[in-house]
Amino acid sequence: MTVTPSSAFTRRTFFGLAGAGLTTVALAACSSPSGSGSGAASSNQTITIWLDTQRAPAIKPIAEKFKKDTGITVKLVVKDFANVDKDFISQVPTGKGPDMIVSPHDKLGSYVQNGVVSPLQLGDKSGDYADVAIQAVTYDGQVYGLPYSIENVALLRNTALVPDVSSTFDEVVSKGKAAQAANAGTVKYPFLLGLDPKQGDPYHMYPLQTSFGSSVFAQKSDGTYDATKLTLGDEAGLKFAAAIKDWGQQGILNANITGDIALDAFDKGQSAYYLTGPWNVPAIKKAGIKYAIDPLPSAGGEQAKPFLGVNAFFISAKSKNKVAATKFLVEYLGTDSAQEALYKVGGRPPALKTAYATVAKSDPDIKSFGDIGLNGVPMPAIPQMASVWADWGSAELQLIKGQGDPTTVWNTAVSNIESKIK
């Protein structure tokens, strides 16, 4: 683009302006909520927490109380919850991240792998929380987070169609089929479980899998997972694979039923059973379905253990305010009133035992989900897990569709996963 100016001018302009992009980035970085995690320019009396819109109102009064007691301002920064982990991992190393973050525990592995969280000493208080919650926020022998809620799936039963509880999956299936036969016009499915038709859903299938005694990784004594011991391919896993194909052929599991279709069908009373989590209960209530929350049935004779998702607060590794942040988490968010406030906005069982006991008295649904959770296992937080979901899910999906021999399909998936996590 030469119009008239001398070339010297052009060059100078170019080099002078070449930093414009950097300037903008620098400015953007400066204006980003850097909390107090950086240097002399900011006061040390502010700590920043990233959370989502849902939780902000519950944390606000707690932050105000903290300000009154200690004089430290807690700045609440609302972030998009779906990407908060990626933002956290990319922001912390630059020194611009928050002091604290709310996050599901299964991201913990990648936080540790990227060195962005710092260990949290709960000391003797760790006994006040549900064991599974502490297991979930433990990684490599270190506790990193303060847990506040636990969520897991359960079996929802339409009480108008099936009045009584069953303990085995076979019973569930036969009652579901009986309900289907008795109400031929309206009831279309014996049992519902929402799957992703493209990648399957090992998360929802896991209670059925564990009831065969099959698991994904071996657990160490402290409840954390051992990434070197993939147990998916053992005998029990192969039994489970054979069972999936069988259920698929019977039409109990259907690869074409997405989560939305399953919820819609249960809302319309088209099935007696629905395996789902607390997030769908409000919609089912609204649809006017009379439901009961049953313990997860055993398909293979052993205890059915669902995956637990634990939401927790974590402290950034580069926080300059670790004392204040630790105080805020352990002494203010680790209290009954805080955990109950968080339950009110999220509708999930609290992780603090005393808060859970209080909530369970007034909310029978929470008690049902919470009691099932006591048998659960934390979702693996190890980074290797990211390489497991896809193959695991597609193997299950293939078998539900009745393609291939269970042993071959399952073993292929297992060897694929093993080559990835080496």
Least Cα distance to 106 among 127, 137, 129 occurs for 137
CB contact at 8 A, 148 and 352: yes
Q: Which residue has the tokens 């657990």?
A: 219
Given a contact cutoff of 8 angstroms between Cβ atoms, the answer to whether 250 and 154 are in contact is: no
For other proteins, the closer of residues 332 and 369 by Cβ is: 332
Question: What's the closest the beta carbon of residue 84 comes to other proteins, in angstroms?
Answer: 14
221 binds other proteins (CB under 8 A): no
Output the smallest distance, CB 356 to other proteins, in A.
24
Looking at beta carbons only, is 239 or 322 nearer to other proteins? Answer: 322
Using CB under 8 A, pick the residue from 39, 185, 221, 288 that binds other proteins. 39
Amino acid 351 reads A
| Residue 65, both tokens | 């109380």
In the list 261, 283, 287, 292, the residue contacting other proteins (rule: CB under 8 A) is 261
Applying the rule CB under 8 A, the residues between 349 and 368 that interact with other proteins are: none
For 147, 160, 340, 367, the CA distances from 364, given in Å and listed in that order, are: 22, 19, 15, 5
Asked if residues 331 and 43 have their Cβ atoms less than 8 Å apart, the reply is no
Number of residues located near other proteins, criterion CB under 8 A: 84
Q: Which is nearer to other proteins, 64 or 222 (CB)?
A: 222
- In the complex with other proteins, the residue whose CB is nearer, 244 or 296, is 244
Give yes or no for a contact between 216 and 418, defined as CB atoms under 8 angstroms apart.
no
Smallest separation (angstroms) from other proteins to the CB of 67? 12
Give least dist CB 350 to other proteins, A: 22
195 vs 366, beta carbon nearer other proteins: 195
Q: How far apart are CA 202 and CA 193, in angstroms?
A: 11
State in angstroms the smallest separation of the CB of 192 from other proteins: 13
Residue 324 interacts with other proteins (CB under 8 A): yes or no: yes
Pairing of strands 192-193, 142-143: unpaired
Minimum CB separation from other proteins for residue 197, in Å? 7
Q: Which of 391, 399, 400, 414 binds other proteins (CB under 8 A)?
A: 391
Is 389 an interacting residue with respect to other proteins (CB under 8 A)?
yes
Binding of other proteins at residue 82 (CB under 8 A)?
A: no
Structure tokens at 216: 């994904």
Is residue 89 close enough to count as binding other proteins by CB under 8 A? yes
Q: Does 335 bind other proteins (CB under 8 A)?
A: no
DSSP string over 267-327: HTT-BSEEEE-GGGHHHHHHTT--EEEEPPPBSSSS----EEEEEEEEEETT-S-HHHHHH
Using rule CB under 8 A, residue 250 touches other proteins: no
Handedness of CA 46, 50, 54, 59 (dihedral sign): negative
Q: By CB under 8 A, is residue 75 in contact with other proteins?
A: no
Name residues whose C-beta falls within 8 Å of residue 365's C-beta, 6 or more positions apart in sequence: 278, 281, 293
The structure tokens 């989900």 sit at 369
CB of 117 to other proteins, least distance (A): 9
Tell me how far apart the alpha carbons of residues 213 and 234 are, in angstroms, rounded to a whole number.
Answer: 10
* Residue 295 contacts residue 165 (beta carbons within 8 Å): yes
User: Closest distance between other proteins and the C-beta of residue 367, in Å?
Assistant: 33
| Region binding other proteins by CB under 8 A among candidate stretches 50-58, 164-172, 252-260, 291-299 | 252-260
Say whether 350 sits in a helix, a strand or coil: strand
Q: Which stretch binds other proteins (CB under 8 A): 73-81, 178-186, 325-333, 341-349?
A: 325-333
Question: At what angle are helices 406-421 and 389-400 packed, to 10 degrees?
Answer: 170
Contact pick of 330, 354, 363, 375 for other proteins (by CB under 8 A):
330
Instruction: Identify which range of 67-75, 290-298, 338-346, 355-363 contacts other proteins by CB under 8 A.
Output: 67-75
| Rg of the chain taking only CA atoms, in angstroms | 25
Footprint of other proteins on 119-178 (CB under 8 A)? 119-121, 123-124, 140-142
Instruction: Determine if 218 is a binding residue for other proteins (CB under 8 A).
Output: no
- Binding flag, residue 107, other proteins (CB under 8 A): no
Q: Does 383 bind other proteins (CB under 8 A)?
A: yes
